[in-house]
Amino acid sequence: MARLVVLGGGVAGHTAATFAAKWLGSEHEVVVVTPNAKWNWIPSNIWVGVGEMSKEDVTFDLAPVYQKAGINYKQAKAVSINPEGKEGSDKPFVTVEFTGQGKVGETEEVQYDYLINATGPKLNFAATPGLGDANGLGEFTVSVCTADHAVHANEEFQKTIEKMKKGERQKFLIGTGHGMCTCQGAAFEYIFNIEHELRKAGVRDMADLQWISNESFLGDFGVGGLHMKAMGFAVSSRIFAESLFAERNVEWTIGAHVNKVEKGKAHYELLDGSMGEHEFDFAMLIPPFAGVGIKAYDKAGEDITATVFAPNGFMKVDANYAAGAYENWKASDWPRTYQNPTYKNMFAAGIAFAPPHGISKPMSSPNGTPINPTPPRTGMPSGIIGKAVAHSVCDLMTKGESAHLHEASMAEMGAACVASAGKGIFTGTAAAMTIYPVVPDFEKYPGTGRDTDYTFGEIGLAGHWIKHILHHLFIYKAKLNPGWTLIPE
C-alpha cells in the first residue's frame, strides 16, 4: 500500500484527493492535510459580502465527506517538507501542525510516497502597510477572500446603507490593494454587486463608486485582456469593461500600486510615476498572493526551500523559469505535468504552482515600482490541473514509475468564467466569458493569441442564472453526491 498526501482542501486539492480516492480504491491511502474544517465555494463569497448569501450557503463540513470517500483527513497545516526523509530513514515526510480535531498546536510527521501541494495562496495583506499585518487583514478595509471575511464585509456594507438612508453620502473604493495583485475578477464582481445592491436599497444616488486596479487597461483581468466574439464582432475586453463602468457610473483608476492604507484613505502610485490618494468610507482591496510559506529540508536537515519553491513561495514545477523578458515569453513556458523537477514524487496544483512568468505585459513606473497583474489560476484551471495531477499520481502508484504523466497546460486549456454583476432571479446580471487558451499562444493564433471562435463574452440575466446554477452544481459535486464525477471541473 502506498500513500498519497494532498496538502490543501480547496478547489485543486479537494478535486485531486476525491478523484484519487475514487481511482485508487482501498488498495492505497489518500491523506488530506488542510487547516480548514469547512470547504468553501470561494466564488460565491461575493454574494456573502453583500448579504445575498450566508456563510452556511457557501461552506460545508469536510469531515463527513472525507469519511464517505475513505480519505484520511487531518485538520492541520503543512509546515515543512522533507522530500529525502531524515537521518535513519529515506522515507519522505511532511511536518504538519494541527488546527483542529482536538489536537490544536500538536505536530506530526506524515510520511508519503507521493505528494500533491495544493495549498493555494497566502493572502499577503501585510505587503501593503495598513492593508494588513502579519496576522492578516487590517482594520481599515474589508475582504471577500474567505467566507468569514465576506460576512464581516457585509456587516460593514449594511452600515453604509443605513448611513445613506439617513442622508450621509458614502464613498466606496474597490479593487486591488497592491501593484502585484491577481484576482481582479473577484474585485470586479464585488464592485458591481455593491452597485446592484445600492440600487435595490434605493440609495445609489448617495454613493460614489471608485475602482482602483493594477491593470494597465480596464478589462486586462490578469490575462492581458481578451478579444471576445460578441454580436459577430471581435470586441476587446477593454471596450466591454469601459462601457460597463460608464453605464453603471463607476469611476476608475488603473495602473495603480496601492502603497499605503490609512483610516479612510488609500495612497497609490501610478504607472506614470505620479502619486495620488482616494478617500473612502468603505474599501475592499484584494491583497497580493504569495505561497503559504512551507519550508523544505534535505536529509541532513539543511534548508532547501529555494530548491523546491520559487522566491514567491509557490512550488517549482515543469515550467520554463528562465524565459526572461516579455519578448521571449512563449506558450510552451507553461507547465504541463506540474511535477517538481527535483523530487519527482512531488506535484503542485492550482494556485500553489509557480507560474513561469505573468500573462499580462510586465510594467513598472519611472520610479521602478512594478505595477502589473500577476497571472490568475482561476477555479476551472485549478480543478482541471488538480484532476490531471491526481491522474498522474494514481498511474504512478498503480502502474509504476514509468507511467505516462497526464498534461494540463494553461496554454492549451480553455476556461469559462462567469463574473456576477448583481444577484437577482429577474434583475441579476453576469458577464459570461470563455477564453481559449487561458495563456495566449501568439505562434498558433497570431494577433490576439487566442482562438476567437472559442473566446466570447456576453452580459445579461442568463449569465446570472448560469452563475447561480454553477454555485449549486459545484457544491453538489464537492460533497460527492451521486453522479459527482459527471460534473466537469
Q: According to CB under 6 A, which one of 207, 351, 389, 433 is a site residue for ligand FAD?
A: 351
CB of 193 to ligand FAD, least distance (A): 11
Q: Which is nearer to ligand FAD, 92 or 379 (CB)?
A: 379
Q: Name the residue nearer to ligand FAD (CB basis): 65 or 271.
A: 65
Three-state SS string over the chain comes to CCEEEEECCCHHHHHHHHHHHHHHHHHCEEEEEECCCEEECHHHHHHHCCCCCCHHHHEEEHHHHHHHHCCEEEEEEEEEEECCCECCECCCEEEEEECCCCCCCCEEEEECCEEEECCCCEECHHHCECCEECCEECCCCECCCCHHHHHHHHHHHHHHHHHHHCCCCEEEEEEECCCCCCCHHHHHHHHHHHHHHHHHCCCHHHEEEEEECCCCCCCCCCCCCCEEEECCEEEEHHHHHHHHHHHCCCEEECCEEEEEEECCEEEEEECCCCEEEEECCEEEEECCEECCCCEEECCCCCECHHHHECCCCCECCCCCCCCCCHHHCCHHHCCCCCECCCCCCEEECHHHECCCCCCCCCCECCCCCECCCCCCCCHHHHHHHHHHHHHHHHHHHHHCCCCCCCCCCCCCCCEEEEEECCCCCCCCCEEEEEECCCCCCCCCCCCCCCCCCCCEEEEEHHHHHHHHHHHHHHHHHHCCCCCHHHCCC
Which residue in 5, 7, 393, 459 binds ligand FAD (CB under 6 A)?
7
Q: Fill in the per-residue mask, 253 to 292: x = in contact with ligand FAD (CB under 6 A), - = not in contact.
A: ---------------------------------------x
Nearer CB in complex with ligand FAD: 132/379: 379
Quick one: which segment of 127-135, 344-352, 452-460, 476-484 binds ligand FAD (CB under 6 A)? 344-352
| Site map 153..192 versus ligand FAD, x via CB under 6 A | ------------------------------x--x------
User: Could you give the string, one character per residue 286-305, with x where binding to ligand FAD holds by CB under 6 A and - elsewhere?
Assistant: ------x-x-----------
Cα separation, 419 vs 338, whole angstroms = 28
45: contact with ligand FAD by CB under 6 A: yes
Question: Does 120 contact ligand FAD by CB under 6 A?
Answer: yes
Q: Is 33 in the site for ligand FAD (CB under 6 A)?
A: yes
User: According to the binding rule CB under 6 A, does residue 36 interact with ligand FAD?
Assistant: yes
Q: Which residue number places its CB atom closest to ligand FAD? A: 10
Residues numbered 137 to 156 that lie near ligand FAD (CB under 6 A) are: 144-145
Nearer to ligand FAD, 145 or 285 (CB): 145
Instruction: Show contacts with ligand FAD in window 13-32 (CB under 6 A).
Output: 13
C-beta of 41: minimal distance to ligand FAD in Å? Answer: 8
Of 357-396, which residues contact ligand FAD (CB under 6 A)? 377-380, 382
- Closest CB 34 distance from ligand FAD, rounded Å: 4
Question: Per-residue string for binding with ligand FAD, 78-117, x by CB under 6 A?
Answer: x---------------------------------------
In this structure, what are the phi and psi dihedrals at residue 211, rounded to the nearest 5 degrees?
-95, 140
Residue 444 has a CB neighbour count (10 Å cut-off) of: 13
Report the residue from 10, 51, 83, 224 that binds ligand FAD according to the rule CB under 6 A. 10
Using CB under 6 A, pick the residue from 8, 225, 255, 428 that binds ligand FAD.
Answer: 8
Residue 381 amino acid letter: P
Of 259 and 378, which has the nearer Cβ to ligand FAD?
378
Nearer to ligand FAD, 120 or 288 (CB): 120
Among 77, 391, 464, 471, binds ligand FAD (CB under 6 A): 77
Here the cell at position 280 is 473612502
350 binds ligand FAD (CB under 6 A): yes
- Going by C-alpha positions, the residue among 158, 161, 138 that lies closest to residue 149 is 138
Contacts of 192 (CB under 8 A, 6+ apart): 244, 248, 250, 419, 420, 421, 422, 429
* 118 makes contact with ligand FAD (CB under 6 A): yes
Residue choice 5, 21, 30, 42 for contact with ligand FAD (CB under 6 A): 42
Answer whether 72's CB lies under 8 Å from 29's CB. Answer: yes
Residue 164 or 228: the one with the smaller Cβ distance to ligand FAD is 228
**Shortest Å distance, C-beta 400 to ligand FAD:** 28
Count of residues interacting with ligand FAD (CB under 6 A)? 35
Alpha carbons 47 and 25: distance in angstroms, whole number: 37
Contact set with ligand FAD (CB under 6 A): 7-13, 33-36, 42-43, 45-46, 77-78, 118-120, 144-145, 183, 186, 292, 294, 350-352, 377-380, 382, 417
